[in-house]
Structures are given as C-alpha cells and as structure tokens.
Amino acid sequence: MAVTEPRTAPRGSPINLLCRIVGHGANRQRARHDMEDYWAPCRRCGTMLVRATTGWRAPTMVEVEKHAANLAQIARGPEGMRME
C-alpha cells in the first residue's frame, strides 16, 4: 500500500471553487480504513476526507499526522503492528 499525503487542489482552480460552494463529496469506492478512521478522496478535487459521525469532512492536522503514522505502521506489515 502506497503512503499518500492528503492534498488539496490548487487555489483558484474551478474544481476547488465548486467544492467551496457545494462542499466536498467523498469517493466512497476509494475509501480506506487506516486502523482508526475511514479516509477517501474528494470526487472533484482529490482532497483527502475523513469519515466522522456527521459525515465526511476535511481532517485536522492531528488526524493527518495520526493517519500518516497508521499508514507507516500498516506498511511495515504484521510484525510492525502492535496489539493493544
């Protein structure tokens, strides 16, 4: 599994503007679980979204850092995963 960083569309792009007006829409077919949360890219601009109880939303910086750590742990394989 490739480790990807959350991204946003370039400022001022038409796609980013549409997401600003109507909001992001998660691509549920590309949603993945990172041992903690579900993550999916926006269908229009590619911004990574996290699933919350109220719906899909942009993640906080803390969530982005946790997501990166979880992906690194997954990439190490079963021996890198700790059981709690």
Q: How far apart are CA 71 and CA 9, in angstroms?
A: 22
Q: What is the pLDDT of residue 62?
A: 93
- What's the whole-number average pLDDT of the chain? 81
- How many domains is the chain partitioned into structurally? 1
Q: Establish if 14 belongs to a structural domain.
A: no
pLDDT of 84 > 60? The answer is no
Q: 48 lies in which domain range? A: 28-77
Structural contact between residues 72 and 35, judged by C-beta atoms closer than 8 angstroms = no
- Which residues does 9 contact at the CB level (< 8 Å), separation at least 6? 15, 16, 19, 44, 45, 46, 47
Query: What pLDDT digit, counting tens, does each position of 22-39 carry?
Result: 889 999 999 999 888 999
Query: What pLDDT digit, counting tens, does each position of 27-70 carry?
Result: 999 999 988 899 999 998 888 999 998 999 999 999 999 999 98
Q: Establish if 40 belongs to a structural domain.
A: yes
0.85 exceeded by pTM:
no
Q: What is the pLDDT of residue 18?
A: 84
Q: For 77, which DSSP code?
A: -
